[in-house]
Structure 1
Amino acid sequence: MSSNNIRSQAIQAIANSKHVLERLDFHETPLKDLFGCNVFNEEVQRERLPKPIFKALQKTIKQGISLDPTIADSVASAMKDWAIEKGATHYTHIFQPMTGLTAEKHDSFLNIDGSGKAMVEFSGKELVKGEPDASSFPSGGIRATFEARGYTGWDPTSPAYILESPNGATLVIPTVFLSWTGDILDKKAPLLKSMEVLSHQALRILRLFGNKDAKKVFTTVGPEQEYFLIDRSFYLARPDLLHTGRTLVGAASPKGQEMEDQYFGHIPERVIAYMADCEAQLFKLGVPVKTRHNEVAPSQYEIAPIFEDSNLATDHQNLLMEILRKTASKYGMACLFHEKPFAGINGSGKHNNWSMSTDTGENLLNPGDTPHENAQFLVFCAGVIRAVAKYPELLRVVVSGAANDHRLGANEAPPAIISIFLGDQLQDIIDQLEKGGAKSTKQGGEMEIGVTVLPKLPRDAGDRNRTSPFAFTGNKFEFRAVGSSQSVSGPNSVLNTIVAESLDFIATELEKSAKAGKDFHKSIQEVLLGIIKESKKVLFNGDGYSEEWHKEAEKRGLPNLRTTIEALPVIIRKDSIDLFTKYKVYTEKELQSRYVILCESYVKTIKIEGRTALLMAKGMILPAAIRYQGEVATSVNATKAAGVDNSAQLEFLKTFTATITDFQKAIAHLEKAVGDHPEGDDLAHATHARDHVLANIVKLRTVSDKLETMVADDHWPLPTYREMLFIK
């Protein structure tokens, strides 16, 4: 079957499809009963565990007290019985290796006794520790390929759950992943470490304010997930989407997002059915999804949860992405998480809404009605400001990657320059503090709409800024630079650690002042003033997209690491190593390994894109262009023989032939770049991938997109932008 027939048949299949849109009956199963029904949560634990075991486990979960190993067998037994009642036949330790999002190995509950009789078992040892083969996961040189032993370790702070499938169910146990030598090979363990470090430093400050009730401070996260949905028939007909997650070629659609009619628009019936199905699955797994809507670009959508503990939120975010991905095929669609699947329209991000809360329920970044009088809030807020000002390059590198490079700074996402937007109210208080002391708070007031029947609406004290990479939004900071395909583990591990370092600095200064007998509030004033003077360069409330800001940022000395290649060396810089080793979030060896892994990942990503572009160019686009060239040449000869003026056709043929020649040259250049094996270290290989392979992919695309506008539609072999983005 020719490729253009595949394309036309895909369109016909979509036009004739009768998708079964599953209707969920929430009368039969109320939402409150559905939520968390497949989670081994506190309620289930209280019901099934002996009281002393339950209390011991809850102390670990809520207070961070070390797990008592003697309770493992009791917990495992209760967990197994509950899971089997839910239809589970297997269990798995799910973990977050340095590859994509998660990995898992399934083991059956089935065992055989000495007489050959089947029995069901699940021990405390099997709950606490697993042993997947670690040799095939990236380690960045921490271990040799032949060194295979690796361990998964149960994380009791993230509850186990039942994952259902058409052929059964599996008990899923969140875990960390480490090597036989004890080196961390995953993303969860550093996150947990960073949370403990931040809790310790935050509690020091709370004690200075007289708070003796809080036993733990944890960070909260609410990641807003953006994604695209296209018909699966189109997806399968595009090798680039299949292998790289983005379109490597494709001329712009006549209509894109310029009409601004997609954002918050009516959600198509097939899409809303898909969303509802995903949400029902997520509700059962205890994932508190809250918001769904159309995003700015055509066929782009967003789902957002309620805030949770960062560790649990990260596990839920990984689960959410998997549910979105696998459910799409049920509705004849493909879910795309790539940061820039389509050129010329908005890409996708994952806004990481971050805050700090105590175990008594106090949000430490809640300013209250009069933030100028809320010294505790100002101290914690200043800690965040100082952290971002001191470590902007770490925040940049933790969101780096070949995919996110296409999005950052493209007038649809924050620039690569890390700055903080505070809003009018908080910026005014900072300005007052710098001048000697905050004495007032700007209030928002009310908005008069001018229609009698409509109520007055309260106005926030400040606007929002979508161009800022790190914005204060009322009672949290929104880190907007995170990419849609990325795990939030890394960004939050870094954010927690740099804020912990700042809180450590503040606590140390205030403790010194207290020992010296200084007035506490005067000491706070001095510390805040010092932080503001040192860190105000990172504060910016204006348009982050503007050229003026880029010039101003350069004057202020703010780093602008435009690409991953520029950012990666930050990981192994001395100040980065000193920071993470001081707080024992990473060892130096673990940082070195992550640097190597990220360099290798960048090279592999670009090389796969290069090979895929060549496959499409040589096997699909060029043959189609040559066939059409033959038709045009035949037509030119026929009109010439008929004595008809064919000057326009002849001119088109010349231009078209020249474009094909340019395309063949672009293919040759890309082939050479992909085939080259540069000398040098890991960064040199990554730099070659960017400067030669990626650069030649871009050149190839430019000519290919020109060809697409010249070749007759019935000859073009690939689903087009106008089809993929608008045929639903």
Structure 2
Amino acid sequence: MSEAINVAKIFGEDVFNDTVMQERLPKKVYKDLKKTIEEGKELDLATADVIAHEMKEWAIEKGATHYSHWFQPLTGVTAEKHDSFISAPLPNGKVLMSFSGKELIKGEPDASSFPSGGLRATFEARGYTAWDCTSPAFVRHDAAGATLCIPTAFCSYKGEALDQKTPLLRSMQAISEQSLRLLRLFGNTTSKKVTPSVGPEQEYFLVDAEKFLQRKDLIYTGRTLFGAMPPKGQELDDHYFGTIRQRIAGFMKDVNEELWKVGVTSKTQHNEVAPAQHELAPIYAECNVALDHNHIIMQTLKRVACQHGMKCLLHEKPFAGVNGSGKHDNWSLTTDDGKNLLEPGKTPHENIQFLLVLTCILKAVDRHADLLRESAADPGNDHRLGANEAPPAIISVFLGEQLEDVLEQLISTGEATHSLKGGKLQTGVDTLPDLAKDATDRNRTSPFAFTGNKFEFRMVGSRDSISGPNVVLNTIVAEAFSEACDVLEKADNFDEAVHDLIKQYATEHQRVVFNGNGYSDAWVEEAEKRGLPNIRSMVEAIPALTTEKAVSMFEKFKVFTKAELESRAEIKFESYAKAINIEARTMIDMASKQIIPAIIKYTKDLADTVVAVKEAGADASVQAELLTEVSGLLAETKKALEALKVVADQAAAMEEGEDQARFYHFDVVPAMEALRTPVDTLEMIVDKEAWPMPSYGDLIFEV
């Protein structure tokens, strides 16, 4: 039996959190730092020196030898450069261990080697990391020992955002300012700050490391480029919430312990729908802290999986034929004194502030559906969205029966007079209690669903940063709040004006509300009639970043400049092209060096069998028929391989940018699918011992 974990004792033990700061920092220094965190006051260098010294002493006590400015460039992963605490040697041959306020506040990594979309030339190398003191530093223990990780933003020499965090912090500032304007109109004079509160659920697959290493496609791309479904997949629904196997349970235990130590509130764990798929969900945190925590979660899942002889797959669609993985982004707005702006109360029809917030969000989502869709776009999500396992690519809002009824009352009469009640759920069993029933069911097919006191944005991909979706959510809602306040602040009669505005927004944007089955073909037709965009792929979504509408909004709230938006669009086109190029080249490599040689060997064995059986005077028609079938599929495979080589070379020769990305999507991807089809058919025919790599059954059922 393993030793029991005292969660309360270990939680946050490796975090330089508020309790540690209060204990170790002088009172004045602690107060100044809290002002910086809560009010955005600038931190002077003398105060920073004291904080840095105490942070270093605390980290050394935890075993740390190095510190790192831990940041999130536009690569989709985190970056870090480690510096030891060693300073110049003393005359006696010893060294001092030091860490200054300047080193804490600012770092200087090379900015030319990260994606910048033209913001930085290769010769322009200077970039800066700036301490985000609103997200606590932590000590990470791994094979390198112990490292003090300091969450930072990353900007160029000229101040352009080169990372995921800087625009998120800007958007949080924008939504706070506009939310406070709205709250003041309703008489709230006490709240000083409104923060987006986020809880991102994380789905992932686990496979055996030994089998993983026999699949070049998993190694190079994170997903299987070939693979036939086994006789059993997820059709029995027996994996979802099923008993967690002991090997997986041991992994989850270690993941939780690692996360709790660095202050990540790992709360929920369970088997997901697909075999070998699982989920981890934390408790809600402030938006930028949730961002950092989600990156820590992804890194921890991968590291601990290796320690258990497994590999963690975060690709959105690692296996065709079973569900892919998403990251449901649960989003709400909370004041510094604990009020949730998305809490409808027991009688939402009477909660005028909530109804204004709600209809502003409907307006924001309807107006900027293209941006929301783009924020969840990546090459892996192209395989997942709209595949009867994830939300469709069409943005709509699920409100549920109660709020939809209130909305219909507002639209039809201008006045909402009642709210539907939940009532009791009668189990029909005397020994079971009757349960209080919510007024609204849930809808897993909706991309943007209201779930009690928050919205759940279900489109986000499992390996993606949650920064992009939350930057968009924060900014589009800030814009809607701002426009509402512009009207209401000038109104002679506030009560009449707010009622009129709620009705106006509900009427003008009711087209985005949909409570039905988002998987149905009927909804695709209905959405088209309503004029809702259906953006099916990443390359078709990226242009939303640089529309006049988007540029105007982001610049108004100082979240992105036009140059920053154009650079991000350029980076996304390039990253899509590079991802598909790697996949295509991997398929070519696997087909040329593994699959075709294995099939040729198998056909020789078949041919030898046909000859041997005929010479023995027996009927060899079955063997001959099988040989003909395999040979025909082999010819089809070779033809498809040559076609893929041609278009992959054409794509690679093109100039980087939108045209190249579109060629990869519309020409290379279909050529890849054409190669996969005969190969997957062959896998179902060829002797398992002759097949050159582990099958789906080996990967997803033998973990």
What range describes the TM-score normalised by the shorter chain of this pair?
Answer: over 0.9
1:228 counterpart (200, 205, 211): 205
> Taking every aligned residue pair, what percent have the same amino acid on both sides?
52
> Hey, what does 1:365 align to over in structure 2?
342
Report the Cα distance in structure 2 between the residues aligned to 1:278 and 1:428, rounded to whole angstroms.
Answer: 43
Per the alignment, in what secondary structure is the counterpart of residue 331 of structure 2? Answer: strand
State the alpha-carbon separation in 2 of the partners of residues 678 and 462 from structure 1.
54
> How far off is 1:681 after superposition?
6.1
2:666 aligned residue (667, 691, 707): 691
Check whether the contact 1:640–1:646 (CA below 8 A) recurs between aligned residues.
yes
What amino acid maps onto 1:422 in structure 2? L
Structure 1 residue 166: deviation in Å? 4.2
Bigger mean CA deviation after superposition, 691-700 or 288-297: 691-700
Counterpart of 2:4? 25
What does 1:170-209 align with in structure 2 at a 5 Å threshold?
A: 170-209=147-186
Matched, 1:64 2:40: yes
Within-5 A mapping of 1:615-626: 615-626=589-600
Match of 1:123 among 83, 97, 100: 100
Q: CA deviation at 1:24?
A: 4.3
* Alpha-carbon spacing, 1:428–1:66, altered in 2? closer, same or farther (3 Å): farther
CA contact (8 A) 1:678 1:684 kept: no
How far apart, in 2, do the equivalents of 1:24 and 1:489 lie? Answer: 37
Q: Deviations over 1:31-57 (max 9, x none)?
A: 111111111011111111111110111
Question: Which residue in 1 is equivalent to 2:509?
Answer: 535
Residue of structure 2 equivalent to 1:6: none
> 1:2-17, aligned counterparts within 5 Å?
none
Runs of 5+ in structure 2 lacking a partner?
A: none
Contact 1:678–1:688 (CA under 8 A) maintained in structure 2: no
1:471 aligns with 2:449: yes
Q: Give secondary structure in 1 for the equivalent of 2:443.
A: coil
1:75-100 CA-to-partner distances (Å, cap 9, x unmatched) read: 10110111111111000000000002
Alpha-carbon offset, residue 214 of structure 1: 0.4
Paired with 1:469 and 1:546, the residues of 2 have a C-alpha distance of 14
Task: Report the AA paired with residue 400 of structure 1.
Answer: A
Native 8 Å contact 2:410 2:416 kept in 1: yes
Deviates more, 1:700-709 or 1:335-344: 700-709
Deviation of the 1:136 alpha carbon: 0.9
Secondary structure in structure 2 of the residue aligned to 1:402: coil
- Structure 2 counterpart of 1:666, from 640, 645, 650: 640
Query: Which residue of 1 is the match for residue 544 of structure 2?
Result: 570
- Paired residue for 2:649? 675
Deviations 1:633-670 (A, max 9, x none): 01111122222222222122111111111111111111
Match of 1:484 in 2: 462
**Mapping 1:95-114, distance limit 5 Å:** 95-113=71-89
Query: What residue is the counterpart of 2:555 in the other structure?
Result: 581
Counterparts of 1:380 and 1:331 in 2: how far apart (Å)?
A: 47
Which residue number corresponds to residue 428 of structure 2? 450
Aligned counterpart in structure 2 of residue 260 of structure 1, from 214, 224, 237? 237
* Structure 2 CA distance for partners of 1:323 and 1:426, relative to 1, 3 Å: same
Distance 1:416 1:521, change over 3 A: same
Q: Amino acid of the residue matched to residue 698 of structure 2?
A: E
Partner of 2:496: 522
Amino acid paired to 2:42:
S
Aligned to 2:353: 376
Query: Counterpart in 1 of 2:189?
Result: 212
Secondary structure, in 3 states, of the residue corresponding to 2:477? helix
Q: 2: CA distance between counterparts of 1:82 and 1:643?
A: 84
Q: Note if contact 1:24-1:277 (Cα within 8 Å) is conserved in structure 2.
A: no
Cα distance per residue 1:148-183 (max 9 Å; x no partner):
111100000000001012452110000000111211
Mapped to 2, the partners of 1:374 and 1:247 lie a distance apart of 50
Please give the per-residue CA displacement for 1:480-514, whole angstroms capped at 9, x wherever unaligned.
0000010001110111000000000111111011x
The amino acid of 1:455's aligned partner reads P
Partner residue of 1:714 out of 662, 678, 689: 689
1:175-225 Cα offsets, whole Å, 9 max, x none, are 000111211100100000000000000000111111111000000000000
Contact 2:90 2:96 in 1 (8 A): no
Q: What is the deviation of 1:697?
A: 1.1
Q: What residue in structure 2 maps to residue 18 of structure 1?
A: none
The answer to whether structure 1 residue 549 and structure 2 residue 510 are counterparts is no
Contact 2:574/2:656, CA 8 A, preserved across alignment: no
Partners of 1:320 and 1:259 lie apart in 2 by 30
Residue 506 of structure 1: which of 484, 495, 501 is its match? 484
Shift of 1:23: 2.8
Q: Work out the CA distance in 2 between the residues paired with 1:680 and 1:98.
A: 21
Match of 2:578 in 1: 604
Matched, 1:316 2:324: no
State the superposition RMSD in angstroms: 1.1
Moved more, 205-214 or 165-174: 165-174
TM-score by length of 1: 0.95
Structure 1, unpaired ranges of 5+: 1-21
Equivalent AA in structure 1 for residue 631 of structure 2: T
Query: Residue 590 of structure 1 corresponds to which residue in structure 2?
Result: 564
1:639 and 1:449 map into 2 onto residues whose CA distance is 66
Distance 1:384 1:334, change over 3 A: same
Partner amino acid, structure 2, of 1:25: A
Q: 1:679 to 1:322 in 2, by over 3 A?
A: closer
Contact 2:111 / 2:127 at 8 angstroms: preserved in 1? yes
- Which one is further off, 649-658 or 132-141? 649-658
* Shift of residue 625, structure 1, vs aligned partner: 0.3
